[in-house]
Amino acid sequence: MLGLGIESTAHTFSCAIIEKKGKKGKILSDVRKIYRPADGEGIHPREASRHHIENSSSVLFECLKEANITIKDLNLISYAAGPGLGPCLRVGAVVARSLASFYKIPIYPVNHAIGHIELGKLLTGATNPLVLLVSGGHTMLLAFLNKQWRVFGETLDITLGQLLDQFGRSIGFASPCGKNIEELASLSSNYVTLPYSVKGNDVSFSGLLSATKSIAKKSKIDACYSLQETAFAMISEVVERALSFTGKKELLIVGGVAANKRLSDMLQDVCKRHGSKFFAIPIQYAGDCGSQICWTGLLESEVKQGALLKDTLVIQSWRLDSVKVDY
Amino acid sequence: MLMKLRKKGAEADIYEFKWQNSKAILKIRKIKNYRNASLDLKIRKQRTIKESQILSQVKSFGIPTPLVYFVNLKKALIVMQEIPGKPVHDLPELKIVELSKEIGKLVGMLHKNGIMHGDLTTSNFIFFQNTVFVIDFGLSQNTIKPEDHAVDLRLIKEILNSAHAKIMESTWKNFLNGYKSIVGNANYVKITKLVSEIESRGRYAAVI
């Protein structure tokens, strides 16, 4: 089975080709173009969607070339139908619909967040993990039960990715800012007290964001260090809570913030304490990419026919715990 | 003294212990090396204080909790009475459905007396001799803010929805009935409305 996956939920436009044999998948190509806002600014949905439109054909062309196949070889096309920014989502959906209807290829709308998890499982070999999904759009702890991903904890306001990006932009970086913050943080070991807000299995970051902005006026490096230490300790604590409550023996971390070294070091320590195995998605596939969409579409094709064209819409707010998983 | 580890919890380890010849448990919040040292010390100390205070405080209005025997703040440890029952989480589903009304009542009593539990999971209720005991007050707060009480309810709802998905509807209904019978209809309406508000602030929540 050969699948094409199209991702366009936020700043990334990406196409990927995966070959699926039984339960195994091989990524033949994964090409991305990322919209970069000016320093200190966030994603402008209209500008991002324009970027996606302008780059869509070259990304698709390159992705086919790299995989050494033609569109006619494809068995299915999947696209990220949500959650995400409306104008951006529509670009991917239009490309997918055009190809599917012109070449008569089955089409699959896919939940972007489920895509992060499924690709993580494929690339790490985790079988029954507690999943930590940390990105610009999500901060969630999930476990699979009874055909659905169930939420064991999540953020009550902004996500970990937003926390890092919004703070990073306030000191002049361009999104995504995680890497810049990590670099500055490594220059300090002076911890300044910041609000630590764990509510049961949930976290809240909005107070932490405001407080970090105000201590940054004194020292940017101390602020970066203290922000990381506080936010990651909060995440680690709720992970510990969920591991202990669910008794899961595997932890899988996926999403853009999975690339952060300090966070994964802390979580590795947590896993050691609880005798659980630690899996992190390879950095190259941590962020948004076509592969996550392609692989989920291929999995869905095991149990479902392609969608009718009239049902290939986009859904900006589409929680992953509302998706039935039958494969 | 050699102690037997009973449970490695999320934030503390639980040991079997003897206190003046009666069975006891020792709960110790050990240093977490992954955490910045000063943040770690602050969290462990604060929670040890809160937990030991509130365990005793809530007894005054009839919440069954273990007796606190001894506290060592430096080591962040509490010695308390052992409740030799089973966590509600591990009981048969029918029993959980039945007990959820009682749990609702207990939470109602806490709230009515200005206490937020802060960690309402089914593992933190112990069923022993026909009585439901409440434990784990490390994240508790003295607060009469309706929003804080709503956070408590949202958490237990989330746990029922994830860990007890098959019996979610009946347990939640029973819980709310028990809760309402203690806090009264006006408070019940106010708090449950706030729960919906918190849920609607969640990421990608369906906008109704």
Residue B44 included in any domain: yes
Same domain? B100 vs B64: no
Which residues make beta-bridge pairs with A73? none
Complete edge-to-edge strand list for the sheet that includes strand A148-154:
A148-154, A139-145, A130-134, A250-254, A277-280
pLDDT attached to residue A245: 86
Q: Using a CB-CB distance cutoff of 8 angstroms, which residues of chain A are in contact with residue B139?
A: 198-200
Cβ A111 vs Cβ A81: under 8 Å: yes
From chain B, the residues in CB contact with A82 under 8 A are: 204
Q: Which residue out of A89, A240, A260, A278 would a mutagenesis test of the B interface target, given it has the greatest number of B Cβ atoms within 10 Å?
A: A240
Residues A67 and A170 in one domain: no
List pLDDT tens digits, range B154-192.
999 999 998 999 999 999 999 999 999 999 999 999 999
pLDDT band at A174 (very low <50, low <70, confident <90, very high): confident
| C-alpha–C-alpha distance, residues A116 and A69, integer Å | 25
Are residues A12 and A289 in contact, defined by beta-carbon separation less than 8 angstroms? yes
pLDDT of residue B1: 60
Number of domains in chain B: 2
Mean pLDDT score across all residues of chain A: 96
Q: Tell me which residue range forms the domain holding B108.
A: 86-201
Kindly tell me the sign of the dihedral angle through the C-alpha atoms of A92, A94, A97, A98: negative
If one counts the domains in chain A, the total is: 2
Domain match, B10 and B32 both: yes
| Residue-range definition of the domain harbouring residue A205 | 126-285
Q: Is the pLDDT of residue B8 over 90?
A: no
Span A43-49, average pLDDT: 95
Query: What ipTM is given for this predicted complex?
Result: 0.88
CATH number at residue B114: 1.10.510.10
| Minimal CA separation from B27 to chain A, in Å | 15
Instruction: Tell me, yes or no, whether A45 and A132 share the same domain.
Output: no
On whether both A80 and A133 belong to a single domain, the answer is no
Distance of CA B188 to the CA centre of its chain: 20
A54 CB contacts (<8 Å, ≥6 apart)? none
Does residue B108 sit in the same domain as residue B154? Answer: yes
**A239 part of a folded domain:** yes
Peptide bond into B146 cis (omega under 30): no
Residue that is last in its domain, among B81, B103, B132 = B81
Pair B68, B118 in one domain: no
* A213 and A235 co-located in one domain: yes
Flag if B35 and A229 touch (Cβ within 8 Å): yes
- With a CB cutoff of 8 Å and minimum separation 6, the contacts of A225 are A184, A185, A186, A187, A188, A189, A190, A191
Name the percent of chain B in helix, strand, coil, to the closest 5: 50, 20, 30
Nearest alpha carbon to residue B25 among B133, B156, B110: B133
Q: Is the peptide bond between B66 and the residue preceding it cis, with omega within 30 degrees of 0?
A: no
How crowded is residue B104: how many other Cβ atoms within 10 Å of its Cβ? Answer: 25
Task: Examine the fold and report which residue of B81, B109, B125 is the final residue of a domain before the chain moves on.
Answer: B81
In a domain, A121, yes or no: no
Q: Yes or no: say if A55 and A287 are a contact pair by the CB < 8 Å rule.
A: no
What digits encode the pLDDT tens for the residues A92-151? 999 999 999 999 999 999 999 999 999 999 999 999 999 999 998 999 999 998 899 999
What is the least distance, in Å, from the CA of A150 to any CA of chain B?
5
Q: Which residues of B touch A266 (CB under 8 A)?
A: 34-35
Give A-chain residues touching B9 at CB under 8 angstroms.
244
How near does any CA of chain A get to the CA of B13, in Å?
11
* Cβ contacts of A59 within 8 Å, gap of 6 or more: A13, A14, A15, A31, A32, A33
**B90 included as an active-site residue:** no
CATH code, A153:
3.30.420.40
Contact A315, A82 (CB under 8 A): yes
Judgement on whether residues A25 and A64 belong to the same structural domain of the protein? yes
Domain CATH code at residue B31: 3.30.200.20
Give the B-side interface with A, CB within 8 Å. Answer: 8-11, 32-36, 38-40, 42-43, 89, 118-121, 123, 139, 151-152, 154-155, 158-159, 161-163, 165-166, 198, 201-207
**Residue A327 belongs to some domain of the structure:** no
The per-residue pLDDT for B202 is 79
Q: Considering B13, B40, B90, B119, which one is annotated as catalytic? A: B119
| pLDDT of A154 | 93
Are A301 and A281 part of one and the same domain? no
- Same-domain status, B74 and B90: no
Please judge whether B205 and A317 are an interchain contact, meaning their C-beta atoms are less than 8 angstroms apart: yes
% pLDDT > 70, chain B: 98
Identify any residues that bridge with A14 across adjacent strands, giving them in sequence order. Answer: A7, A32
Provide, as residue numbers in chain B, all residues whose Cβ is less than 8 Å from the Cβ of A228. none
**Which residue does chain B place closest to A85, by CA atoms?**
B204
Give the pLDDT band (50/70/90) at residue B208: very low
Bridge partners for B28 per DSSP? B13, B77
Q: Are residues B72 and B110 in the same domain?
A: no
Report the pLDDT value the prediction gives residue B207, as an integer from 0 to 100: 47
Residues A173 and A263 in one domain: yes
In a domain, B208, yes or no: no
Which three-class secondary structure string do you get for B115-131? Answer: EECCCCCHHHEEEECCE
Percent of chain A with pLDDT over 90: 94
pTM value is 0.92
Question: Could you say which DSSP state residue B88 is in?
Answer: G
B107 shares a domain with B178: yes
A317 and B34: CB-CB below 8 Å? no
Convert the pLDDT of each residue in A53-93 to its tens digit. 999 999 999 999 999 999 999 999 999 999 999 999 999 99
**Burial class of residue B152 in the structure, from the number of CB atoms within 10 Å of its CB (0-12 exposed, 13-18 middle, 19+ buried):** buried
pLDDT given for residue A41 in this prediction: 85
**Residues B103 and B188 placed together within one structural domain of the fold:** yes
